[in-house]
Structure 1
């Protein structure tokens, strides 16, 4: 029975404390947004986020497409500078063929001038000659040994260059063809 009295006494105290607490003011409940208002605000925020996402996605797609176009243009016109440097060489050769009675001296002078133009075009295009000197050590990354010949120099050194090689910047275009000492 004592337990029941304790429970009853506790319940009476709880009721009294509830009665002492002031009721929520009417203004506070009116200021709190209703569930419908909260839902509408959340839906508006969702719509704004979806719109921002779609705009960001479209901008990313446009940037990707622009990058692909830039790469395609770079590939298409990569040799434009080199081609511009070669056009005067072709013009010089065509002019030389138009001369009706060329002399040996004029032909030689024209060929030398054209070779100078071509060398300038090669420099502009970073096309470098690979012409090893006699006695230089064979470099398989730049030279191709065609044959080995007996020579009075160290083994695996270059005896003669049969054909120059070429590099574009640091990339081998064609190795130099050489004969090597046995």
Structure 2
């Protein structure tokens, strides 16, 4: 049986309790890359209606990003950008951004977080929405980066005949990015 804290309410915790929990959290965090891979695999049986699964869409997005010369952080962003679809269909971008934020530069997080609004450019007008909702970010220094992400990788990745790389190909990169020390200033740089 594993050791547990002494308290029933957090306010009653001791230093030893919180040291135990801190170590437990650090140990648990080492498994994050594997859990990300599992979550991506589940996208193969997710939202229906497209010609490809959400997993295949993610694989195509990452494959296109790599072929386009994107850096590793942006490639992983393209791979996981829709990972929140399973549990948060109406704010999936925020979920994905929250997951990747501790491990990458601020630009990558911003692009993932805003991609849902930028994607509306391609379909919102068909549903009575504002396809130009992204224009509120027109002066943002990462606007062009998000626009490119959506135009070249995201909206273009629904082709059942596209030769995407398999999930196993991306595993080393996922393990590298999500295996980083969270909030490491070598990778996580604040907004310019």
Q: TM-score, normalised by structure 1?
A: 0.20
Query: Which fold has the larger relative contact order, with Cα–Cα distance below 8 Å and residues 6 or more apart in sequence?
Result: 2
Q: Which has the larger radius of gyration?
A: 1
Greater strand content: 1
